Chain A
Amino acid sequence: MRKILIVEDEKPINDLIKLNLELVGYSCEQAFDGTSTLARIGTEEFDLIILDVMLPGVSGFDIIGSCGDTPVIFVTAKGDISDRLEGLRRGADDYITKPFNILEMVERVNAVLRRARKTEDVVSFGDVTADFSKRRVLKGGEEVHLKPKEFDLLEALVVNRNLALSREKLIELVWPMDFDGDERTVDIHVRRLRQKLGLEDRLITVFKTGYRLQI
């Protein structure tokens, strides 16, 4: 499990980030000020640090320098372009602006970890094992053949596990450019995934929202 350090002095926001990252399968640690953060990154290993720029004590910019090779996503106020540029200049890997969208935050975390080659290639749930590097799926030890788009859909659902994804969002993630069908296409692919992998209990329809893969 990937370990993420969340540095944010606002407890509600820190809890919010932790809650959602844990839902999609990360392990999270929390820090609420710059001084304790510096102490922790000196002694503990993290796969990613989410860092608020405006911190009491030591500012986020001063912390980025001490993070070493650990990827950093920093959190900044919307519209504060100078802060954003300063952060990227100092070696941050990405940024999210407040107020942020949960799915967008998860996506950015995934993207940064993917670039750092720290994503988990193999995910298992129930009797299903998905290997994303080899693009293979096993059910009860036997390989199940999935069409490319079905596999992409599975990957999107796994990466955003425990979060409901709307049909639009799924289209955006799975059929990014060339989609000319409609939302029915999503429904058809979801039904096929359920059938092929026996996910009727895990891949559920969320009322008025979309689909969610519960792991």
Chain B
Amino acid sequence: MKTRFWKKAYLFTLILFLGCLNAAVLSLTVYSYRRNVAAAEETAKAEEYYIAFSFDRDLSDIGDSPDYSARDLMEHFGENYSSRGRLLAFLHDGDIIYSDVPEGLIPESDTVSHVYFEGMRHIVIRNTVFETGYELVFAKDASDLDADLRSLGAAFAITASLVSVLLAVSLYFVMRRLSVPIDRMRVATEQIAGGNWDYRAEEKGNDEFALLAGSFNLMLEKIGSQMDELEREAENRRIEAEKKQTLINDMAHEMRTPLTSIRGYAETIEKAAIPEQTRIMAAKYIISESDRLGKISETILEGAYMGAVLPETERCDLAATLADTGRRLSPKAEKAGVTFETDLCPSEVEGNPTLLSMLFYNLAENAIKACRPGGKVILSCAGPVASVSDDGRGMTKEQLSHITEPFYRTDKSRSRSEGGAGLGLSLCKKITEVHGASLSFESEPGKGTRATVEFREEKREKD
């Protein structure tokens, strides 16, 4: 696995902090050590000054006394102070007269210097003193300075280590904790990339990560709904294309059947010597099948025409139209043993008279076809609603949902023998559509069917 962000951040922070901490500790150590050295030097200088002052005064006190020379005084001073750990040396004109300080360690000029001898650190001070020309060299044990430095260094080192460990541990947990929301987002994106579109990032807290998760989820919603929309559209298009293909296939089939008959009978007449009767039968088939072909193409054309152009409309008397439909169909009804009943209240709608009579003619013709001999078809209208009902064989829900599709037939053989192509109701649907009216069917198998055409009220109110 690649180094994660939080590990990088952790390492960088830790290195940076440890660097700063150690630099600070180091400079603190150096600073306090320097102060200690300066203090020790000051003390040494003060002591040296006091010794020099005492010596000068004593030297002038002894004067030219014969039994006590300057050298004696020096020895006295030397012994006295060496017992207290201070080493003295006296020089005159650069020559050593008395010295407790090992030779070679005496500085060349007036300075304060740190010198090691016998393994111990000493502060050595040389100072020109008196008018008498004597010089004093003072050396003092300063080994405690080194000890101080050691203990100071140890204390700081321990503190620094403790702080470093504590920091490393706590920082580790803090950084890890901070990276949790990033991890969550990573998991979310991986899930989405893997196709789990329903996955959502957790929106915890109110920091930038929560906001990011929120935006991320919003984005997913948007993309999701867009995808759904596209899918729906594609599905619709597929269904539409399928319907079109079915329509074309049905159309081809519908036209092929009469064509087969026409072609076949014509060929028979051409090739065969057939009796007069058979010849007439063949010719009749050619005529009836041509009519059927013509009817199909006409209906298709009408359907196409109505899809493109709105018909001219005028006030139409529904009652009169229905009565007329009944009259036109009565020979057919009689032949089928079906009676017509009418229940007509005066009513007017806005519409195209040719199309409306075509509409009711088709509906009533279907009603007759659905009836058994002795059946009854009722034409009725009231207000903007007209209906055609029969007590015929009825239809199932499944059939009802298909009846306005072009070329659909509830019963192929029966409908064909009655001369239908399955286009009538699809034409009716088209006619009601261009009138802004609705066409609905209620049916129960074995009990009958009622077709209802409802025109829009506002058309009436407008006039």
Contact = CB atoms under 8 A, between A and B. Distances in A.
A23 B259 contact: no
Interface string A155-176: 0000000111100000000000
Contact of A33 (B253, B274, B413): B413
Contacts of B274: 19, 23
A205 to B, nearest CB: 12
B267 A11 contact: no
Specify which of A12, A56, A165, A206 lies most central, judged by the most chain B CB atoms within 10 Å of its CB: A12
Nearest to A17: B264
A209 B271 contact: yes
A206 B267 CA distance: 13
B265 interface: yes
B289 to A, nearest CB: 6
Interface residues of B, number: 30
A102 B261 contact: no
A77 B249 CA distance: 10
A214 interface: yes
A78 B411 CA distance: 23
Contacts of B257: 10, 13, 98
Contacts of B253: 54, 77
B396 interface: no
B416 A98 contact: no
B397 interface: no
Interface string B445-462: 000000000000000000
Interface stretch (B149-157, B280-288, B363-371, B421-429): B280-288
Interface string A66-81: 0000000000011100
B244 interface: no
Contacts of A103: 267, 271
B256 A162 contact: no
A32 B260 CA distance: 17
B273 A214 contact: yes
A12 B286 CA distance: 9
Contact of A20 (B258, B259, B272): B272
A12 B270 contact: no
B252 interface: yes
A42 interface: no
Contacts of A57: 413
Given A99-B256, A99-B259, A19 B282 contact: yes
A57 B256 CA distance: 21
A99 B260 contact: yes
Contacts of A209: 270-271
11 contacts: A11-B417, A12-B288, A16-B261, A17-B264, A20-B264, A23-B268, A77-B256, A79-B252, A99-B256, A102-B268, A209-B270
